[in-house]
Amino acid sequence: MSTPINQQVAHILLEKQAVILQPDDPFTWASGIKSPIYCDNRQLLSYPKERRIVAEGLADLIKTYYPEATVIAGTATAGIPHAAWVSEVLGLPMIYVRSKAKDHGRKSQIEGKLSPNDKVVLIDDLISTGGSVLEACRPVAERATVLGVAAIFTYNLKRAENNFKEAGQTLHVLTDLHTLLKVASRDHGLTPDQLETVKTFHHRLNEN
C-alpha cells in the first residue's frame, strides 16, 4: 500500500531539513519567540526528485479542489518556484504577486498576463497565520477570480483558520504539523518528551 501524500511530504520536509525540530535547542524567530520548530521550504529547491513529488502533489490538490483553475500564481518570493513547477505539471499559465507594487517602470504588483475571466489558485510554501498569502490574494481578486490557496505546509494555527474564513478564501495543504510530528516520532527519532515539548509550544501559540 502506498504512503499517503501528506506523510510522504512530511518525510521529505524532515529528511531534507526543510522543517527542523529542535525541542532541546530552540530557534529564535524574527519575532523573538523561542520555537522548537523551524521551517524553510526553500531547501527543496536543491532536490529535484523531492520537489517534483511536492509539485505533483500540489497539482493534484488543484485538480481535486480547483479543477476550473486557468492560472497558477506564486507569492513572492518563496511561492514563485513552486508555482512555476506546478504550472508546468498542469500546463497552465503562471503569474507571481509581489508584496507591493514596484515604484518604477510599469509599477506592477502582478507579473505575467492576467485577464478578468481568469480563475486563479495561489501557491505558497508555508502557512503560519495566512497573512502574507491573503494579502497577495487582494490585488489578484481586483483583476480576476481567486479560487483559493494551495500550500505545502501549515502550522495548524487557529489564527490562520480564522483569517481565511474572514477573507472568504479556502486553503488546501499537502501536509501539516500534526502529520509531521507523527512521522517524526515514527521515523525520525523524535522522543516522547520532545514531542510533548513541541505540542506544548503549539498549544501556547494557538492561545495567543
Is 125 annotated in a binding site? The answer is yes
Is 127 annotated in a binding site? The answer is yes
Is 130 annotated in a binding site? The answer is yes
Which of 139, 137, 126 lies closest to 175 in space, CA to CA? 126
With contact defined as beta carbons under 8 Å apart, do 21 and 36 qualify?
Answer: yes
Is 104 annotated in a binding site? The answer is yes
Is 193 annotated in a binding site? The answer is no
Is 92 annotated in a binding site? The answer is no
Q: How far is CA 39 from CA 58, 92, 178, in A?
A: 18, 28, 14
Is 98 annotated in a binding site? The answer is yes
Is 123 annotated in a binding site? The answer is no
Is 132 annotated in a binding site? The answer is yes
List Cβ neighbours of 168 (8 Å cut-off, separation of 6 or more).
none
Binding-site residue set for 5-phospho-alpha-D-ribose 1-diphosphate? 98, 102, 104, 124-132
Binding-site residue set? 98, 102, 104, 124-132
Binding-site residue set for orotate? 128
